[in-house]
Chains A and B, each alone.
Chain A
Amino acid sequence: SAVISQKPSRDICQRGTSLTIQCQVDSQVTMMFWYRQQPGQSLTLIATANQGSEATYESGFVIDKFPISRPNLTFSTLTVSNMSPEDSSIYLCSVPGQRSYEQYFGPGTRLTVT
């Protein structure tokens, strides 16, 4: 199994500002995923980040709002840009397991936008 860490664990930000969330994995992985989990809602995939290529965004999410970097096989960042209170959520990164389609998740970043 993979061990994933995220920074920061939580933050309170003012509207109009941006926050970059870091995700570090203890092993090399090809794919990394970024999810959003709004209160009482299911996990929603934001984008898939592959090393060496542009991230693939899901419907409803755009690169200008959620730029992603993937500089190597163990690290990725997600930036939440020009934040509004609607961006208040938990942001999680994950990686696929070696078998059976399971996913390993980081602890999440709890973002509150005021």
Chain B
Amino acid sequence: SQKIEQNSEALNIQEGKTATLTCNYTNYSPAYLQWYRQDPGRGPVFLLLIRENEKEKRKERLKVTFDTTLKQSLFHITASQPADSATYLCALGASGGSYIPTFGRGTSLIVHP
């Protein structure tokens, strides 16, 4: 069955360091992969999308890589700040133009001042 894996343990890092979150998947051939941010008591907020034919995408301090051979995406936040503390969800979308991605459970990031 299709499976999306994100580290269930929280990632704790010091302010100013680069945070790296991992999203692995199995039994899936996604056409695109998305990352969302979710704060407590709020709905997820879309951050970035990367397509299957793209290796890397950047947006300000965010960088996403997508390795369809390893079936893995890495999400980097450079120069992290305490305000970056949140849960980050990855979501995979199937080919065929589906607007409905499948979400992982998310990884909590805690940036310490």
Contact = CB atoms under 8 A, between A and B. Distances in A.
A110 B43 CA distance: 11
Interface residue range, chain A: 20 to 34
A75 interface: no
Interface in B18-70: 32, 34, 41-46, 49
Contact of A42 (B46, B98, B100, B105): B105
Interface residues of B, number: 22
Given A31-B99, A33-B100, A40 B105 contact: yes
Main secondary structure of the interface of B (DSSP, over half): loop
Contacts of B34: 101-102
Contacts of A97: 46
B42 A107 contact: yes
Of B8, B43, B105, chain A has the most CB atoms within 10 Å of the CB of: B43
The 6 closest A-B pairs by CB, nearest first: A105-B43, A102-B46, A43-B103, A42-B105, A42-B103, A96-B99
